[in-house]
Every structure is written in C-alpha cells, then in structure tokens.
Amino acid sequence: MNINYFENKKLEVKSMNHFNILDSLPILWADHEDIAIQLYEKFGDDFSESKIYRIRFTELIEWVLKLPNFEGTREQCNEGHLEQIQSKWVYEWRDSQ
C-alpha cells in the first residue's frame, strides 16, 4: 500500500480525537450556538420557528440545564441568554429546511 494511505488514516484518527475532545468540553450559558445545536438535535423538527419563539423561558431553562456537558447554573441564566438561544435555535431549524 501507498505510504500516503497510512498518513491519511493517521490524520483521520487524529481529527476524530479532536472532535471527541470538543464534544466533551463544558457548555455555559454564553455558548448560545452550541446550546441551540444540541436543542435542535434533541427536538429536531418538533418545533417550528413560531413554536421556538413561544417556548416559555422556564421550560427552556430546564431543557438547557439537562443538556450533556452543560455546566451553567440557573442563577447564571438571564433573559438575554435565553433570547439568544432561541434565535440561534431558529437559525439551526431554518438551515435544516
């Protein structure tokens, strides 16, 4: 086999390890896009744009607190974070349509 084949396989494995590391990083309230991506992955198309904007903040807080690797606290949350999360979630939903 060609030596480049093995070099490419090493690069693939190395890249995969970097993604595994990224997946295990803590998520905080300011990580709006990361939170939105995880919410979209969890709920998929169950929520359309209008439904996302009608989610009560009390529910949204609970959902975010239960996400894997989320390390923020309820006390660190504020209305600005929740609005940004909703907005980014809508962008994720739109990108998939």
Residue 6 has pLDDT above 60, yes or no: no
- Reading the block at residue 9, the tokens are 């396989």
Contact 26, 69 (CB under 8 A): yes
> Could you give the CA distance from residue 72 to residue 65 in angstroms, rounded to a whole number?
7
> Could you give the CA distance from residue 35 to residue 64 in angstroms, rounded to a whole number?
7
Q: Which of 22, 29, 26 lies closest to 64 in space, CA to CA?
A: 29
User: What is the pLDDT averaged over residues 73-83?
Assistant: 98
Report DSSP state, residue 40.
Answer: H
- Identify the pLDDT of residue 8: 47
Please state, for a pLDDT cut of 70, what percent of the chain lies above it: 76
Domains (range + CATH), the chain: 28-96 (1.10.10.600)
Residue 20 has pLDDT above 70, yes or no: no
